[in-house]
Structure formats: structure tokens, C-alpha cells
């Protein structure tokens, strides 16, 4: 849909909605476009240019809100995990193994592991969740 700024010969200005500029021209030629104020069918299109109406704005904004909510929840989950876990840094594979084999009390840890180390841990049945923690969100 496009919205055209129209005016009649009495300079009454109004907006008209049309499927396309061609549709407007066709209807104008056939005298189907009339001024809502004086019913004149001598209509001209003002040069201010058509506005293009794309898909329904309400739906788009709902989708954007959903995406934002998911993003916020994820952010919240990461924050909670960071708060409730111990940063063991590069000792992560070693610590994960110790916890798995109950050499140390179970606790949440986070840290860094290479792809190779992660694969080894997974092979041993140790659950490792890759988590992208945004920089600057480390609390300790
Ligand atoms: Zn008019």
C-alpha cells in the first residue's frame, strides 16, 4: 500500500490509500477518486511523495519485543551463573574433572577450555556448557 497526498481543485488536501501509484492513476482517470470535502473528482497528486506502507508494524514490534525479552533472559541467566560460580580460568578442565570424580565438593565453576579439552571432558561424560560471557561481566 502507498499513501498519496492529494488535493482537489479547491485545494482541499487529503490522503488517499492505493495499492500502487498506477492504481491511483487508473482510478483518477476513471473519475473514481473524489475529494472527501467537496466531492470534486478533479484531483491532483501533491509532489510530497508517497509513503510506502510495508508489513503490519504491530506484528514487527511484537517480534522485536520477543527477541529483546529472550536476550534479556539470556543476559540474566549468564549474570546469575557468573554470580553463583567460581572462576577457575584455565584450570577449568582440571577442576571439572575433579568435581566429576568427586575429588572436590561439587560446585558451579566457569572458566576457559580449548575445543580439544572440551571434547575430552565430554568424552569422559562431563557435562560442559559453552557459554559466551560478554567481556567486562566477570565479577571476580
Ligand atoms: Zn475539495
Distance 11 CA to ligand 1 centre (A): 6
Distance 26 CA to ligand 1 centre (A): 19
| pLDDT tens-digit profile, the chain (140 residues) | 888 999 999 999 999 999 998 999 999 999 999 999 999 999 999 876 556 666 555 666 667 777 778 778 878 887 887 888 889 999 999 999 999 999 988 888 888 888 888 889 889 888 777 766 655 555 55
Residue 69: C-alpha distances to residues 6, 76, 81, 83 (Å): 42, 10, 18, 21
Distance 5 CA to ligand 1 centre (A): 13
Do the domain assignments include residue 18? Answer: yes
- 126-129's contacts with Cβ under 8 Å and 24+ in sequence apart are 126/96, 126/97, 126/100, 128/96
Give 44's strand partners.
7
Query: Which residue from 35, 34, 48 is spatially nearest to 3, judged by alpha carbons?
Result: 48
Domain residue limits at 91: 85-127
Give the number of domains in the chain: 2
Distance 7 CA to ligand 1 centre (A): 7
Query: Which residue from 91, 98, 132 is spatially nearest to 113, judged by alpha carbons?
Result: 91
Do the domain assignments include residue 59? Answer: no
Do the domain assignments include residue 106? Answer: yes
Distance 42 CA to ligand 1 centre (A): 8
Amino acid at each position: 500500500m502507498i499513501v498519496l497526498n492529494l488535493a482537489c481543485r479547491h485545494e482541499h488536501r487529503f490522503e488517499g490509500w492505493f495499492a500502487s501509484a498506477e492504481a491511483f492513476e487508473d482510478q483518477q482517470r476513471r473519475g473514481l477518486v473524489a475529494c472527501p470535502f467537496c466531492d470534486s473528482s478533479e484531483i491532483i497528486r501533491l509532489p510530497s511523495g508517497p509513503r510506502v506502507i510495508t508489513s503490519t508494524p504491530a506484528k514487527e514490534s511484537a517480534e522485536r519485543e520477543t527477541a529483546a525479552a529472550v536476550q534479556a533472559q539470556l543476559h540474566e541467566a549468564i549474570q546469575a551463573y557468573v554470580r553463583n560460580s567460581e572462576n577457575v580460568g584455565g584450570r577449568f578442565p582440571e577442576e571439572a574433572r575433579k568435581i566429576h570424580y568427586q575429588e572436590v565438593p561439587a560446585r558451579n565453576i566457569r572458566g576457559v577450555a580449548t575445543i580439544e579439552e572440551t571434547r575430552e571432558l565430554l568424552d569422559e561424560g562431563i557435562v560442559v556448557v559453552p557459554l559466551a560471557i560478554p567481556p567486562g561481566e566477570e565479577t571476580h
